[in-house]
Amino acid sequence: MRKWRNRYLIFEIHSPKPIELSKLQLLRHIFDATLKLYGEVGAASIHINLIDYDDRLMRGIIRCNHRAVVKLRAALATISEIDSIPVLVHVVKVTGTLRKAREILNSLPRGLDVGDEEAVPCLTSGGE
Amino acid sequence: MPKRRFVDLHVKSSLSSGKSSPSQIARMASHLGFKAIGLADFNLQNIDLLPDIRKIFESYGVDLVARADLYEQSPKLLKSALRKLRRRVEVIAVYCRNINVARLAARDRRVDLLIFSAKSWRENFFDKSEAALALSGESALEVNLIDLIRARSSSERIQAIRILSENVRMAKRYDLPVIFSSGATSIYEMRAPRELAALATLLGLTEYEARESLSKIPLELVLKNREKLSEYYIMPGVRLIRKGEFLGEKMEK
C-alpha cells in the first residue's frame, strides 16, 4: 500500500472589502464548495483540513490528500462570493510539509493593493 | 524545462461592460502569474486607446492582447464587422448565437475563436459539422470557465458542465484546438492559471491538456496573428526580409 501523503495549500482571499470570517465559517464555505462539486463521497476523499487562517490578512493553509490537490483547487475556484461579497481564492503555493508552508505564509507580502473602488463600466459599443 | 507562460485571452474591463479598470486587471494578472491577458473590449470606437493601455500592462510585466468580441446576429453583419476589425485587433472571437452565424464563423479564416452558449442545448450550435468546418477554417473553440465559476445554482453548474464537456469532447475528436479562458468581467472573477486548469479537468481534460489549453495553444494563436499583422508578412511561409532594388528601380516595400 502506498504511503499516505499530505499536501499543504497556501491560499489568500482577495475581496473588495475585508470580510469578517472565522476559521470555522471559512471551512464551511470550502466544504460547501467541494460538496456541491463532488458530492459527499468525493468531498470526503479530499480529506480537507483548514490548518491556519489569519482573518485579518485573509490567508491561510489547507491540508489535503496528495492525490486531491487538483480537485481542491477546482473547488476553491468555484467560491465566487462570501456573504454576498465577490471573492477570489488564490492558491499561492503547494508544499509537502507544514513547516515549509508556514515559512511561505509568513514570507508573503502584506496584501495586494488593487486600487480604489471598482471602476464604473463605460460602455462604448458592441460589448455585452 | 522552460517555465510555462500562461495566457487568459478573455477578460473584460471597464472599457466595455467590465467592472474593473485595465490597470486593476493588469495588476491582478501579474499577481496571479499570467504572462499575457486578452482584453476583449476593443471595437472601432476605442481601438485608439490601445497604445496607452498596452503601456499600462507593460509596466506590470504583462503582455496585452487586443481582442474584439463580435455578437452579430446575421452573417452579413458579421462579414462587415470582420472586414473592419481584422487588421486592427490581434484576436477576433465570435459568439455563435444562431446556426448561420456559427457556420460562417467556423468557415471564415478571419475568425480566431468560436464561443457557444453553455446555458442551454438549444443555443449550443457546436456539432460535428461545426467542428469539421472550424478545423478547416483554422479557428479554435473557446471555453469560458466563468460559466462554472459564476453559476448561481447547482442545476446551472450541472448544465454548464454537461454542455461544455460535450463541446470539449467533440473538439478533441476532430483535433480542434480548445482554449480555456476565464471570461471574467471583474478582477474578483479572474482565477489563477492553475485554478483554471483544475476547473478545465472537470470537463474531461487531463491536467497536461488543460495546461496546454491555457498556455501553448493561446500563445501560438497570438504569435501567429501578430506575424500576420506585421508589415513584413506576405503569406504563410513568406516574409519580406529587406527592401531592395529590382532592375534598377527602388522597390517601395
**Runs of H (alpha helix) within B44-145:** 50-59, 75-85, 99-107, 128-136
CB contact under 8 A, B71 and A80: no
pLDDT (0 to 100) of residue B210: 94
CB contact under 8 A, B27 and A78: no
CATH number of A6-107: 3.30.70.3250
Output the CA angle B233-B108-B10, nearest 5 degrees: 80
pLDDT bracket for residue B160 (50, 70, 90): very high
Q: What is the pLDDT of residues B188-243, one digit of tens each?
A: 999 999 999 999 999 999 999 999 999 999 999 999 999 999 888 888 888 888 77
**Radius of gyration for the alpha carbons in chain A, expressed in angstroms and rounded:** 16
**Nearest neighbour of B149 by CB, restricted to A15, A80, A123:** A80
Q: Which residues of B touch A77 (CB under 8 A)?
A: 145, 149, 191, 195-196, 198-199
Q: Does A108 touch chain B (CB under 8 A)?
A: no
CB contact under 8 A, A128 and B43: no
Q: Tell me, what's the ipTM?
A: 0.88
How much is the average pLDDT of B143-164?
91
Q: Which residues of B touch A115 (CB under 8 A)?
A: 21, 23-24, 27
Q: How far apart are the first and last CA of chain B?
A: 40
pLDDT (0 to 100) of residue B235: 83
Q: Which cell is B176 given?
A: 480542434
DSSP-based three-state secondary structure for B17: coil
pLDDT per position in chain A (128 positions), as tens?
Answer: 667 799 999 999 999 988 989 999 999 999 999 999 999 999 999 999 999 999 999 999 999 999 999 999 999 999 999 999 999 999 999 999 999 999 999 998 876 766 544 444 444 444 44
Low-confidence winner among B76-80, B96-100, B249-253 (lowest mean pLDDT): B249-253
B18 vs A123: CA distance, rounded Å: 9
Buried b (16+ CB within 10 A) or exposed e, B32-64: bebbbbbbbbbbeebeeebeebbebbeebebbb
A127 vs B40: CA distance, rounded Å: 8
B52 vs B243: CA distance, rounded Å: 31
pLDDT (0 to 100) of residue B5: 93
Q: Which residues of A touch B25 (CB under 8 A)?
A: none
Task: List chain A domain ranges.
Answer: 6-107
B57 vs B55: CA distance, rounded Å: 5
Are the C-beta atoms of residues A11 and A58 closer than 8 Å to each other? no
Cβ-proximal residues to B224 (8 Å cutoff; 6+ apart), any chain: none
A119, closest residue in chain B (CA to CA): B20
Select the more confidently predicted residue: B113 or B231: B113
Q: Report whether pLDDT(B251) > 90.
A: no
Q: Report whether pLDDT(B148) > 80.
A: yes
Q: Which residues of A touch B69 (CB under 8 A)?
A: 126-128
Q: State what percent of residues in chain B have pLDDT above 90.
A: 73
Q: What is the pLDDT of residues B27-65, one digit of tens each?
A: 999 999 999 999 998 988 888 999 999 999 999 999 999
pLDDT (0 to 100) of residue B115: 94
pLDDT (0 to 100) of residue A124: 43
DSSP-based three-state secondary structure for A94: strand
Least Cα distance to A51 among A92, A89, A105 occurs for: A105
Q: How far is the alpha carbon of A126 from chain B, nearest alpha carbon, in Å?
A: 7
Residue reference for cell 531592395 = B244
pTM of the complete model: 0.90
pLDDT bracket for residue B248 (50, 70, 90): low
